[in-house]
Structure 1
Amino acid sequence: MENIESRSDRLAALKKRLQTLDRRSEPMLCAGPPAASGNIPVDISLQALHDLYAAAPADAVTVNAFGLGLALRAAAGRPIVWALHEMMEQEAGRPHGSGLHEMGVSPRDLLLVRARDAPTLLAVGEEALRSPAVGAVLLSVWGEARAFSLTASRRLALAAETGGRTLFLARAGAAPCPSAAETRWSVASYASEPLEGGAPGRPSFSATLLRRRGGGGTGTWIMEWDREQRTFRAPAPLSGGLVSVAAQRSTAATGTRRAA
C-alpha cells in the first residue's frame, strides 16, 4: 500500500504509479454500467460523483464494501484506485486479502493508497481521476472532515466528468450533507442467507437512496453481492417463501443487522 503523507512531496509517487498503470492497461471486455442490472433500480451514472454514507459508525466496513462493488461495476475491467483516510483504517481496519477475494477483487484490479489527512485524500482523488488507465475511484474517509466542503465536492464532480471516470465517496462517522453528488446513499449491513452446507452467505446490504440529482423516487433496497458475476442481486429466496426483487421500505424500517 502506498503511504501518501503530503501533497507536496508524495503525490509525485502516485503520478509515477498511475503512469505505470497507463503502460500496462489493455482494452478489456466491458462488464456494463452499474445501472439497474442488479438489484439497484436507480441508474448509477458514470463520469459522476456518488456519496455513500454509513448508516451508523459500525457500518463503516459495509459502506466501503458497497462502494467497492459499485466501483468494480463502473470500472468495467480497468483498475480501481482506492484511497483510504488514515482515520478510516484506525476505526474500521485495513482491507484484508481474503475479504477482497470474497468481493471478487484480484491484485491487478486495485491500487490502494493511504492518505494521512482529508486534504491529501482529496488531492489523491483528483489525481487518480485524471489517469486514462483508471476505471473508477473510491475515497474512504472517517468523520466530519472540514475539507469535504460543497466546494470540494464540486471540484471532485468536475474532475470525474472531465476525466471520464466515476468517483464513489464512502464516509463513516459523518452525517449526510449537501454536495455536488449525482446520488446520495445511506448503507447498512444486512443479515445474509447461508449457502448450501451452511457456508457463509454473500455480503448483504440495506441501501437507502436519500437523494438523486434532478429529483426522482427514493427508497430502501435489500441486495447481496455476487462475486462471480461482479454485480448486486436480489437475495436468494428463503425456503418456503419469496423475497421481492426491490423491497422498498422507509428508512426507519431498515434493518441494521451485520452482514455475515
Structure 2
Amino acid sequence: MRNICSQSDALAALKTRLETLDRSGGRRVETVPRDGSDDGFAPLATSVLHDLYAAAPADAVAVNAFGLGLALRAAAGRPIVWALHEMMGQEAGRPHGPGLHEMGLAPRDLLLVRARDAQTLLAVGEEALRSPAVGAVLLSAWGEAKAFSLTASRRLALAAETGGATLFLARAGAAPCPSAAETRWSIGSCASEPLEGGAPGRPSFSATLLRRRGGGGTGTWIMEWDREQRRFRAPAPLSGGLVPLAAQRPAAAPRTETGARRAA
C-alpha cells in the first residue's frame, strides 16, 4: 500500500505511479456477472459512476467499507485507487492495515492517496480513471462542498466511461444531490451475527438503492461481506434459535398431566 500526500506535486507523483502500473500490464475483464445471481442484489454496471451516501454521519466507516467491497468486486484483481479526503480521515479515522486485511484487501491491491480538499480529491479521481491498469476508484469525502457539482460528476462519469474503470464516490455528512451517477445508495451499518464459538461476525450493511439511472426498482438489502469469497451475501438464516423469555417475567410453572399448574 502506497501513500501519496496532497502536496504541490501530488498529481505528478500519482501520474508516475499510474504509469508504473500501466507498464506492468493491466488486463481488462468483465467484472460483474450479468445474470443477477451475485452479491444478493442486481449487479452494478461497470465503467460508470456510483454514488454512495452514509445514512448518518456515524455511518462514515460503513460507507467506506461498503465502497471498498464494491471496488474489490469491480476491480477483479487489478489495482484499486482509494483517494481519501483529509476531513474524512479526521472524522471517521484513517485506514487501518489489519482492518483492510480483514476485508480481504492485500497491500499490493491498493494505491492510497490523501487529498486535503474536494478539488484535489476530484482531480485525483479523474487522473486515476485515465489509467488502463486501474480496475476501480474509490473517492471518500466528508461534508458538503461546492466542488461536488453536477458538472464535476459528469466529468467523472465521462472519465470512467473512457478509461474503463468503475468509480465509487462515498460521501458522509452530506445530503444526496443530483449527479450523473448510474446509481445512488444510502449505506448504514448493521449488527452482525456472531460466528461459531462467539467469534466476531462478518461486516454487515444496510444498503438502500435510492435511484437508478433510467428508472427501475429500488429497495433495501441487508448484506454481509464475505472476505474469503470477496463478495456481499445475504445473512444466513438463524438455525435452532430459541425465543428468549420476556424480561422481568418469571418462567411459567410446569403443568401436570391434567393441565393444572404445579406449585413451585
Q: TM-score range, shorter-chain basis?
A: 0.7 to 0.9
Correspondence 1:1-260 to 2 at 5 A: 1-6=3-8, 9-25=9-25, 27=27, 32-33=31-32, 36-240=36-240
Q: Structure 1, residues 20-66: CA drift from partner, whole Å, max 9, x if none?
A: 112234559x6841663434422310000000000000000000000
Deviation at 1:131, TM superposition (A): 0.4
Distance 1:157 1:27, change over 3 A: closer
User: Quick one: structure 1 residues 182 and 31, their matched pair in 2 at CA, closer, same or farther if it must change by over 3 Å?
Assistant: closer
Aligned length: 238
Native 8 Å contact 2:137 2:166 kept in 1: yes
Contact preservation (8 Å) 2:206, 2:223: yes
| TM-score (norm: length of structure 1) | 0.88
> For residues 89 and 16 of structure 1, do their structure 2 counterparts lie closer, same or farther at Cα, with a shift above 3 Å needed?
same
Between the aligned partners of 2:26 and 2:63, the Cα distance in structure 1 is 30
Q: Tell me how far 1:75 sits from its aligned partner.
A: 0.4
CA contact (8 A) 2:31 2:46 kept: no
Q: Unaligned stretches of 5+ in structure 1?
A: 242-260
**CA displacement, residues 156-195 of structure 1 (integer Å, 9 cap, x when unaligned):** 0000001111000000000000000000000000111111
Runs of 4+ in structure 1 off by over 3 angstroms are 25-28, 34-40
Q: CA deviation at 1:5?
A: 2.8
Q: Which amino acid aligns with 2:164?
A: G
Give the Å deviation of 1:135: 0.3
Asked if the contact 2:85/2:141 (under 8 Å) is kept, the reply is yes
**Secondary structure of residue in 1 paired with 2:145:** coil
TM-score, normalisation: structure 2: 0.87
Do the aligned residues in 1 keep the contact of 2:26 with 2:132 (CA within 8 Å)?
no
Match of 2:247 in 1: none
Percentage identity across paired residues of the two chains: 82
Q: Mind listing any 5+ residue stretches in structure 2 that lack a counterpart?
A: 242-264
State the Cα deviation string for residues 65-84 of structure 1 (Å, max 9, x = none). Answer: 00000000000110000000
In angstroms, what is the RMSD of aligned CA positions? 1.5
